[in-house]
Homo-oligomer: A and B are copies of this chain.
Amino acid sequence: MAGAKTHPVSPLAPAALPELPELAGIELGAIEAGVRYKGRPDLMMMRFAQGTSVAGVFTRSKCPSAPVDWCRSILGKGNARALLVNSGNANAFTGKAGAAAAKTTAIAAAKLVGCKADAVFLASTGVIGEVLPAEKVTAALPRLATTLKADRWAEAARAIMTTDTFPKAAVRRSEIDGKPVTIVGIAKGSGMIAPDMATMLAFVATDATIPEAVLQALLAKGADRSFNAITVDGDTSTSDTLLAFATGKGVTHKPVTRLTDSHLKTFRADFEALLIALAQLVVKDGEGARKFVEITVSGAQSAPAARRIALSIANSPLVKTAIAGADANWGRIVMAVGKAGEKADRDKLSIKMGGRLVAEKGAVHPRHDEAAATAHFKSSEILIEVDVGVGTGSATVWTCDLTHGYIDINADYRS
């Protein structure tokens, strides 16, 4: 049963949550609804001021969860007024009963907020195949709704955890046309390597005024370079959900009308940096992870080709176990490049580990220093760079190692 076993905090966890500032236009909170876990908050709610715009990016799974179906159906219909998230039950693969349960909770939240149900966004993660017990959520909601406050981000970050070993949040102080704006994000994910826990949720909010179309473009582009760059499993769970909310209740700034507005440049960079920070936190809580790995592929035919090669390396169990064992086994990287299915010139291929050339022009580098490579593979942050010698496309992805801890957790998850 989820949560029956607790695992030690990841050695890659940050020392503490950053301080999470209040955002004008957002009140939030968490409560114990008893959906599945006992003795901890498992239901989180955010209430947004009128006029809050919303954008979303969802799993590409062909078997999405009921809350994902719900969010997709209401996105673009108007403003967001609330977000309701439970942990412990993914409400995925639950058929019509699951869809009805999701709708019931949205209607109940809408009544409390005083809005239509289609302004209430939903997310659920946890066990697949069990209908969400909507009555537990609706019973807990009234009390939750009366306790929402602007300073509860940390509680919210904790309430959405499932097998996560630490809460995840990030903050960016940014500006639009010289006016200060703030972005706060929280995420959960026990590693993209655990897609059946319905994996990854992230919620990002800002007090800036960003029209829906621009927010959606920001989010889609940002997701590509962050959450979609932390291994292929990431876009394949049944529940992956990334939502962004812009309340427009902070300091008034020059209006934003399109993604390419020059006064949006700094905000755009900060927004993307925040998404990358959140995505990296998810990797750092990867099940059994003991090492954080950055993989950059260059010289590919295109950026998407580079990313596919990088993900082929990042997803290879043989590369991941080599890293776990501090074995600087570059032959496995060659193998992963070869299997990616993208164009690569074997006889121009070069590989660096920790910044040092290991292989070049399709063969081991004459001055390859195996001891140095091994020393680098013993550290907790690993850097692998590969140039495949056919073009100018490049991409960076992040992953973690594959250890006995992963087997421990996943060979004994429900029982």
Contact = CB atoms under 8 A, between A and B. Distances in A.
Contacts of A404: 404, 407
A58 B42 CA distance: 52
A6 interface: no
Contacts of A346: 62-64, 93
A219 B349 CA distance: 32
Contact of A329 (B193, B335, B337, B414): B414
A344 interface: yes
Contacts of A331: 90, 92-93, 127-129, 196
A339 interface: yes
B325 A413 contact: yes
A233 B321 contact: no
A83 B230 CA distance: 44
Interface in A393-410: 402-404, 406-407, 410
A177 interface: no
Q: Which of A97, A238, A361 lies at the interface centre, i.e. has the most chain B CB atoms within 10 A of its CB?
A: A238
Interface in A315-336: 317-318, 321-322, 324-327, 329-332, 334-335
Nearest to A390: B62
A53 B323 CA distance: 44
Interface in A280-313: none
Interface in A71-92: 90, 92
B338 A61 contact: yes
A195 interface: yes
Contacts of A339: 60-62, 195, 233, 236-237
A94 interface: yes
Given A349-B63, A406-B317, A407-B404, A92 B324 contact: no
Interface residues of A, number: 68
A204 B325 CA distance: 37
A338 B410 contact: no
A196 B61 contact: no
Contact of A95 (B92, B325, B362, B411): B362
B93 A410 contact: no
Nearest to A128: B331
A146 interface: no
Contacts of A330: 129
Contacts of A201: none
B129 A341 contact: no
A234 to B, nearest CB: 10
A128 to B, nearest CB: 3
A347 interface: yes
Nearest to A318: B196
Given A61-B338, A236-B339, A321-B411, 14 more contacts: A63-B349, A92-B331, A92-B334, A93-B362, A94-B362, A95-B362, A128-B331, A128-B334, A129-B364, A238-B334, A317-B402, A317-B406, A327-B415, A329-B414
Q: Which 10 A-B pairs have the closest CB atoms?
A: A128-B331, A236-B339, A325-B411, A63-B338, A61-B338, A321-B410, A95-B363, A196-B332, A63-B346, A321-B411
